[in-house]
């Protein structure tokens, strides 16, 4: 248990459907990040929250993607009108302070779009 929980662990969806993933960091994680990882590649940054404020978004985060962190606790990542290219592992990470002590990643949600 890393202290960051992600749900579900796996999701298979048909192209065009909407999906939502959830991330539960520990209470001390003032910072929360979403990353995407495809096979053989390192994780790619998607977006970052400082408490409840979404402060940075990657160009990878198209209009079909939206993330929220209400009340600065758990976070959700929604993908609308999924495409096959969205198939990947979606990772959530939490950090304290400015992240100077490292990020704590969850085990990820593996999305397969068929």
Partner 1 sequence: LAKTTQPISMDSYEGQEVNITCSHNNIATNDYITWYQQFPSQGPRFIIQGYKTKVTNEVASLFIPADRKSSTLSLPRVSLSDTAVYYCLVVQTGANNLFFGTGTRLTVIP
- Which residues fall within 8 angstroms of residue 51, CB to CB, at 6 or more apart? 30, 69, 72
Q: How far is the CB of 24 from partner 1 (least distance, A)?
A: 14
* Conformation bin of residue 71: beta by default, left when phi > 0, alpha when psi is -120 to 50: left
> Binding partner 1 by CB under 8 A: which of 13, 30, 44, 73?
44
Contact region for partner 1 (CB under 8 A) — 11-19, 61-69, 72-80, 86-94?
86-94
Structure tokens at 77: 């990542």
Nearest alpha carbon to residue 93 among 62, 70, 69: 69
Query: Is residue 30 near partner 1 by the rule CB under 8 A?
Result: no
The residues binding partner 1 (CB under 8 A) are 2, 4, 33, 35, 40-45, 48, 55-56, 58, 89, 91-93, 98-108, 110
């Amino acid at each position: 248990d890393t202290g960051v929980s992600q749900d579900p662990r796996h999701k298979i969806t048909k192209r065009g459907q909407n999906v939502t993933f959830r991330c539960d960091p520990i209470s001390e994680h003032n910072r929360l990040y979403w990353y995407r990882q495809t096979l053989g590649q390192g994780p790619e940054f998607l977006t970052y929250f400082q408490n409840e404020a979404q402060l940075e978004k990657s160009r990878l985060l198209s209009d079909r993607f939206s993330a929220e962190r209400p009340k600065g606790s758990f976070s959700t990542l929604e993908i609308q009108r999924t495409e096959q290219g969205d198939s990947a592992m979606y990772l959530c990470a939490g950090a304290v302070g400015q992240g100077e002590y490292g990020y704590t990643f969850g085990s990820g949600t593996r999305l397969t779009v068929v």
